[in-house]
Amino acid sequence: MEKEKYQIEFPVKASPAMLFPFLSTPSGLADWFSDDVNSRSEVFTFIWGDSEESARVISKKKNKFIRFRWLDDVEEDDEYYFEFTIQVDELTKDVSLVVTDYSEPDELEENKLLWESQINRLLHHIGS
């Protein structure tokens, strides 16, 4: 089944330089995304309780975005990824975090709610 791409945008009261480490480092991601994170070069292993999944950083630009691909998806020869993009409005200087991900159509709403929950943990953690 084809997955569909979706994006969710969250206003953030933090500078890109403050926000980016929470999206791109094992310790930052462990604060809100999963219970623990280990990395070996560009491969991050995310741990939730007894389960773990690994993702490779396939692209990033400091304080702008980071894109991961789950290693499980690589085996399926997928082009799926998840990405955190930091956008700054040129006029207002408001900062937004945009999450891009892919989902099975019947799991879309559930996955959006999961991201909202995770990002709310992040925002709470950084005091935004």
Q: Any bridge partners for residue 2, and if so which?
A: none
Q: What is the pLDDT, as a whole number, of residue 72?
A: 80
Q: Is 98 helix (H, G, I), strand (E, B) or coil?
A: strand
The mean pLDDT of the chain is 93
Global pTM reads: 0.92
CB-neighbour burial class of residue 109 (10 A; exposed 0-12, middle 13-18, buried 19+): exposed
pLDDT tens per residue, range 28-77 = 999 999 999 999 989 999 999 999 999 999 999 999 999 999 988 665 55
Alpha-carbon dihedral of residues 56, 82, 128, 95, nearest 10 degrees? Answer: 110
Q: What span, in angstroms and rounded, lies between the C-alpha atoms of 91 and 107?
A: 36
**Mean per-residue pLDDT, 106-118:** 96
Residue with tokens 């089944």: 1
* Domains observed in the chain: 4-126 (3.30.530.20)
Is the pLDDT at 113 greater than 80? The verdict is: yes
Is the pLDDT at 120 greater than 70? The verdict is: yes
Share of the chain above pLDDT 70, in %: 95
**Mean per-residue pLDDT, 111-127:** 95
- Sign (positive or negative) of CA dihedral 12, 18, 115, 73: positive
Q: Is 12 helix (H, G, I), strand (E, B) or coil?
A: strand
